[in-house]
Amino acid sequence: MLASLTNAGILDPNKLEIISYSLGGHTAGFIGAKFQEVTGRKLNRITAIDPAGFCFRYRPPEYRLDETDADFVDVIHSDVDGFGILAPLGHVDFYVMLKDARYSFLPCFFVCRHLRAFQIWIKALRHPDGFVGLRCKSIHQARTGNCYHNYPMVTNVLGEKSDRGKRGIYYLPTTAFPPYYMGKSGIVRD
C-alpha cells in the first residue's frame, strides 16, 4: 500500500516514518526493506521502541530490523534481559538505565521494563529536550553508565530532535518515576 501510494506520487517517502513497539520493530524493518525493494527508495525514519528479542536475537539483519531499513533508524532498548533485544539495530541506539541505583529494588519485572520504553517515548514527544543520552564505545558501557571517560563527550536527544549525524550507542539515564527524563543533569557524573 505504501509503495503503491508512493509510486502514484501521493506519498513522499521523505516524510514517511514508522513508529513501532516490540514485535512491531521488526515488522517495521520488514516494511522498510520491502518498500525499498519495490520503490527503490527508503522510508525516512523507523523508530523502534524496545524491539522484541524472542526469535530475533540471533537472526541476521535481513530477518530483523537493522539500520538499512530506513534513512534513519533509532532504537530505544529498555528490557534487553527480557522481552527486548541487546544488539544495536539502528543508527542510534539508546539504552535506558536508572540513574539512581537506590531505586533498582522497585518491583519491576520483564513486562514493566518492556513497557517503560513506550512510556519514555511518549514523554520524549512531550519534552523534546528532556532525554539526553551520552555516547558510549560499547553496549557494556551503556548498560553500566560508564561512558564518562570517552572523549570527546558526545550527547544526543531521544525523540524527534535526535541528531541523525551522531550515530552510535547511547547511555540514557532516567529516573524511576515520571516524567523519567533528567535533561543534561543526567549526564553529569555523580
Q: Which of 50, 66, 69, 79 is catalytic?
A: 50
Shortest CA distance to 130 belongs to which of 74, 180, 177, 76?
Answer: 180
50 is catalytic: yes
Is 127 catalytic? The answer is no
**Residue among 20, 79, 114, 162 flagged as catalytic:** 114
**DSSP assignment letter at 128:** T
What is the number of alpha carbons within 13 Å of residue 128 lying toward its C-beta? 4
Catalytic residue among 20, 22, 78, 162: 22
Q: Does 114 qualify as catalytic in the annotation? A: yes
Contacts of 170 (CB under 8 A, 6+ apart): 92, 93, 94, 95, 133, 134, 135, 136, 142, 156
Q: How far apart are CA 160 and CA 186, in angstroms?
A: 19
| Residues with catalytic roles | 22, 50, 114
